[in-house]
């Protein structure tokens, strides 16, 4: 499993409609790629956004990173949408889950 932690801030002058269209297209593209597992997006009160993306393994994540349409949107985002961003690519060391029915359990 590979986890991408993408933290970003949107420029005040960003075209939000264009950003939303680009984001929807990137989700559509990524979620249909082999190895895609999950995507979650969060917004903090201070204006920072956090996106978590999970891929099955490093080769499938690299295929996403290097997809020509994704590369094109990355460049446009740097020019038009983001004032800053920070990306971390991680391999989970441990994984646990809890639910009331099954209790706490180790996944990996």
Look at residues 61, 71, 46 and name the one whose alpha carbon lies nearest to residue 5: 61
Surface-to-core class of residue 27, CB atoms within 10 Å of its CB (0-12 exposed, 13-18 middle, 19+ buried): middle
Provide the pLDDT for residue 49. 96
Which residues form the domain of 92? Answer: 2-106
Provide the pLDDT for residue 100. 92
pTM > 0.85: yes or no: yes
CB 83 within 8 A of CB 19: no
**Tally of domains in the chain:** 1
Q: What is the pLDDT along the chain (108 residues), one digit of tens a residue?
A: 999 999 999 999 999 999 999 999 999 999 999 999 999 999 999 999 999 999 999 999 999 999 999 999 999 999 999 999 999 999 999 999 999 998 999 987
CA distances from 24 to 17, 29, 36, 72 (A): 11, 9, 15, 15
CATH number, domain containing residue 71: 3.30.70.100
């Amino acid at each position: 499993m590979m986890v991408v932690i993408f933290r970003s801030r949107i420029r005040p002058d960003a075209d939000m409609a264009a950003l939303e269209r680009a984001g929807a297209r990137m989700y559509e593209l990524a979620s249909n790629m082999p190895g895609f597992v999950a995507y979650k997006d969060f917004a903090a009160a201070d204006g920072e956004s956090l996106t978590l993306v999970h891929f099955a393994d490093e080769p499938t994540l690299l295929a996403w990173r290097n997809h020509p349409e994704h590369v094109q949107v990355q460049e446009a985002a740097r020019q038009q949408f983001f004032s800053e961003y920070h990306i971390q690519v991680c391999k989970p060391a441990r994984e646990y889950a809890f639910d009331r029915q099954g209790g706490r359990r180790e996944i990996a």
